[in-house]
Amino acid sequence: MLFSKYFSRGKKEEKVLEKIRSHIELLCKACELFSTALQSEDTGSMRAIIDLEREADGVKRKIISGIYEGAFLPYLRPDLCRFVETVDDIFDMLEDTAFNAMSIYLPHSIREESFRVAFLNSRMCEMLLITFDAMVEGEDLRERVLAIRIYEKKIDDMKFGILCDLRELAIDSYWYGKALSDFVTGLTSISDIIEDACDHLQIIHLSMR
């Protein structure tokens, strides 16, 4: 059942949907870049994530402006804006995590698990884009949403192990310890915000029934 059966999809609506999709695509690109940069310790790519976040900010402003210029029915606009703002929150957390990654060296005891979490975050972003496309087409979201929740649960379980390993580390510098703690918090919190974004898609989807 198509999105257009529920809402008029004129030029304004199509333009906003295209920009929302572009916004999520930028997030997917940034998450994948982060995952590869973390493993290769590529500071230049980490800085590129900050540039992508700025580009995404511009796209977000255009989306919000398009919505409040009259795209979509009024009752749908707040939920669409919440979804877009939540995607922006993911970007902000990713940017902060990339910044912290440039300030630390990863201890051997948490390297592999950190790489896995970054990889799973990237897969979750891809699934968020797939879920958005399914929502636009009015398709059933249950399997996509379940996949996102499974990823989030995996990362939650891994977070506990990483934190346990962190407690065993001898930290020489307060600022290094803080940057490392902030890095781990950010890395393992990205999945929570992706799940929140997925929840907003479900709300929008339910409003289409």
pLDDT tens across 119-156, in order?
999 999 999 999 999 999 889 999 999 999 999 999 99
- Extended beta strands in the chain, E state: none
Which H or E run includes 177?
A: helix 174-207
pLDDT at 8: 53
Nearest CA-CA partner of 61 in 93, 12, 23: 23
pLDDT at 208: 73
- Per-residue model confidence as pLDDT tens digits over 64-106: 999 988 888 888 899 999 999 999 999 999 999 999 999 999 9
Helix (H, G, I), strand (E, B) or coil at 107: coil
CATH of domain 8-207: 1.20.58.220
Question: For the segment 4-32, what is each residue's pLDDT rounded down to a tens digit?
Answer: 544 555 788 999 999 999 999 999 999 99
* Token output for 207: 């409003």
**What would the mean pLDDT of 166-180 be, rounded to a whole number?**
90
Which pLDDT score, from 0 to 100, does residue 1 have? Answer: 41
